Structure 1
Amino acid sequence: MTRSIHIEQVSAKRLSRRAFFAGAAATILAVPARADDADDPYPLPPFDYKRLPPDFRRAVVAYNGRHWPGTIIIDTSSRQLYIVLENKTAIRYGCAVGRDGFRWAGLADVGRKVMWPRWTPPKDMIARSPEKAKWANGMPGGPDNPLGARALYLFQNGNDTLYRIHGTTEPLSIGKNASSGCIRMVNQDVVDLYRRVPVGSRVIVMAEGV
């Protein structure tokens, strides 16, 4: 990564994938998609979740960890995002994570939430892809914006990390290492997460191999 931020490394002892989701696959229940918000300027068309492998479709799973309800846990190895619920359960969503050289792990907090966010490519992204320079001052939010329908801005110690959990115009990238470090979700899924998560919520990003 070229972004000059500090991400606290997460140890295997503190974040054990087995401790969180052991046996989860045995107790999966479908979670129906909810309608768009009434004030949404761009209502979403239906998305056929059968286009995604089963492991990347929204579901309720068993949760055996110790984190408070409302905590977001991102497993970069399996490309899955969880939000902890009550009663030892969590909602699992498929996601896309950073491609090789752009993945990261650590702790952050949701510092800001935006509906149909404006996208401003970082300078290092413009250097890699000069065609994005036309959006150096920002691309307005909307159906063609790569941040999709919603964005949760990840902060650390009050500072914007430049990483986001956001929607996508490329839903078939879900389940892949495809981004520049941000966490992508199907638009319908990020809308659902957006409704459930207040500003200040803790986000735990687990490194591969943990």
Structure 2
Amino acid sequence: MAYRIIVDLSDHQLHLLDGSRVVKSYPVGVGKMLTRTPTGDYRIINKQFHPGGPFGVLWMGLSKPHYGIHGTNDPSSIGRNVSHGCIRMYNQDVLDLSRRVPIGTRVTIRP
């Protein structure tokens, strides 16, 4: 299976797709007005468990430097525009996603 990820900023959802079929959707928190999440096409380039700080249980770095998909130590931020541009997920969701997608997975972020 060649999974890919689509992040819809407007509805705060991350969709995992297998071809054109949505396998699973997760709620996310995204960038605030002054530090918006960048739109475009990227890839997951690394994974780090227990990265420390506000990143929850897992960090998955994107091919855009300094941006990633990660857990959070503030679950109330999910569904809101509060981050410095990264995509925040509930810790259990980011672990589930990480088990499903390998490094190199395509990530499309759209408005």
* Partner residue of 2:44 out of 107, 110, 120: 110
Spell out the pairing of 1:51-200 with structure 2 (5 A cutoff): 69-85=2-18, 88-103=21-36, 104-117=38-51, 141=52, 145-156=53-64, 161-200=65-104
Q: CA RMSD in A?
A: 1.6
Report the alpha carbon displacement of residue 86 of structure 1 after superposing the two structures with TM: 6.3
**1:29 alignment partner in structure 2:** none
| Larger gyration radius, structure 1 or structure 2 | 1
Within 2, Cα distance between the matches of 1:108 and 1:115? Answer: 21
Q: Which amino acid aligns with 2:17?
A: V
| Cα deviation, residue 89, structure 1 | 3.0
TM-score with structure 2 setting the length: 0.92
Question: Which deviations, in whole Å up to 9, do the C-alpha atoms of 1:102-137 show, x marking residues without a partner?
Answer: 2220111000011111xxxxxxxxxxxxxxxxxxxx
Q: Is the 8 A contact 1:69 1:83 kept in 2?
A: no
Identity rate of aligned residues, in percent? Answer: 42
Is contact 2:15–2:22 with CA below 8 Å preserved after alignment? Answer: no
Q: Which runs of 5+ in 1 are unaligned?
A: 1-67, 118-140
- The structure with the greater share of residues assigned to strand is 2
- What is the alpha-carbon distance in structure 1 between the residues aligned to residue 94 and residue 4 of structure 2? 15
User: How far, CA to CA, are the matches of 1:166 and 1:176 in structure 2?
Assistant: 15
Q: Secondary structure at the match of 1:190?
A: helix
Equivalent-residue separation in structure 2 for 1:105 and 1:116 (angstroms): 26
CA offsets 1:133-170 (integer angstroms, 9 cap, x no match): xxxxxxxx3xxx301101110015xxxx2101000011
> How many pairs does the alignment contain?
110
- Runs of 4 or more consecutive aligned structure 1 residues displaced over 4 Å after TM superposition: none
Question: Structure 1 pair 87/100, CA: closer, same or farther in 2 (3 Å)?
Answer: closer
Task: Provide the rounded CA distance (Å) in 1 between the counterparts of 2:20 and 2:32.
Answer: 34
Q: 1:69 and 1:96 mapped to 2: Cα distance?
A: 25
**Structure 2 segments unaligned to the other structure (5+ residues):** none
Could you tell me how far 1:90 is from its partner in structure 2? 2.4
Q: Structure 1 residues 86 and 202, CA, compared in 2 at 3 Å: closer, same or farther? A: closer
Mapped contact 1:97–1:183 kept (Cα < 8 A): yes
